[in-house]
Amino acid sequence: MTPSMRTLFLAAAAAGTIVAPRAQAQRLFRTDSAMTVTITTDLGPLLKQRDSLELIKHPATFTYDNGGKPVSVPVRLRARGHFRRQARNCDFPPLWLDIKSADAKQTALSGLNKLKITTSCRPKSAEYEQYILQEYAVYRMYAALTDHSYRTRLLRITYRDTLGKTAPITTWGFFVESVEDVAIHLERKVLPAQGARFDDLDPDALSLLSLFEYFIGNTDWSISALHNIALLQDSAAHMTPVAYDFDWTGAVDARYAFPDKALKIRSVSDRLYRGNCMSPAQLKTVLDRFRAKRPVMEAVLAQVPQLTPDRAKHMKSFFDDFWKRIDDPRGLQREISDDCQKNGN
């Protein structure tokens, strides 16, 4: 990082993005049960317009069942993301769901301004439907490991076309809270500036995140570029990284995912450590945390019964390789020392 870039980052870190206080969104994330919903909109323009650089918001109605009574909330939808948004890669894009607080009072969306919807890239493919459930399970494992994570809610979504020109699409998906809401419930500030180095961050939080990315087989992340990473700052100016977007991981092993050509691996299912360098004492602290959380992390797969037995078995086998590796801390220390990034990634 050049001195001028460094100055810009430090100035942004000092200021941060102070999120306006509002009621915490507890209702939606109070349970982990799957939520059955219907989203009605003009699907044609939504699906055709997503390759544009100027993505517009489409009016829609979000409907769910509340004790046998349908509840409808007017919302707006906008395509989001990068790879999965592009029509050449996916049939259906991930979405932003925008909500007006006045429209959502006394509903499951109360206290929320916007939510990410992660949807199946190809809703007609059983394989791609499993990818969504696998990614959701990874988010749940991350939340079991640390509170510095995004809250999620599994969805069974039916998309209906207001004009009836497109047949209804029913798919798995899940809500992911916005980074602003993460900051609110963790009492932090969002730092939008790129250019952070590892030594800018809380070392314990960075070590935990780095080993989690290794645990799930993820090399598709960058602190300095804020790629699939958010930075949050507390009142003592400690900066904590929070990870998101896990479909390009070995744990999911999607057929479209591949590692960067510059890396020394051929497949996302090949683990490669891309985090900070750790002393033996630091590594022991992190490994102790993983071992303590192992039962609740492993329980997640059983708590997502929609996963097919073969996909659940595939994920368990991938994670078993990690648990076997940490049984040899000296060997893992050597691997981390060989591959760690001294200043940042």
Q: Buried (b) or exposed (e) across 17-26, using 16+ Cβ within 10 A?
A: bebeeeeebe
Residue 8: exposure state from Cβ atoms within 10 A (0-12, 13-18, ≥19):
middle
pLDDT of residue 5: 46
pLDDT of residue 12: 57
Tell me how far CA of residue 158 lies from CA of 66, 80, 169, in angstroms: 16, 19, 5
Sign of CA dihedral 84, 211, 236, 239: negative
Asked if residue 174 lies in contact with residue 143, where contact means CB atoms within 8 angstroms, the answer is no
pLDDT of residue 286: 98
Sign of CA dihedral 138, 144, 149, 152: positive
Backbone angles phi, psi at 222, to 5 degrees: -150, 125
The 8-class DSSP code of residue 106 comes to T
pLDDT of residue 10: 59
**Residues of the chain where predicted confidence (pLDDT) is lower than 50:** 4-5, 18-24
pLDDT of residue 90: 86
Residue 88's CB: how many other CB atoms inside 10 A? 6
pTM of the model: 0.93
Asked if residue 166 lies in contact with residue 158, where contact means CB atoms within 8 angstroms, the answer is no
pLDDT of residue 15: 60
Tell me how far CA of residue 142 lies from CA of 30, 129, 208, 259, 311, in angstroms: 17, 21, 10, 21, 19
Asked if residue 220 lies in contact with residue 229, where contact means CB atoms within 8 angstroms, the answer is no
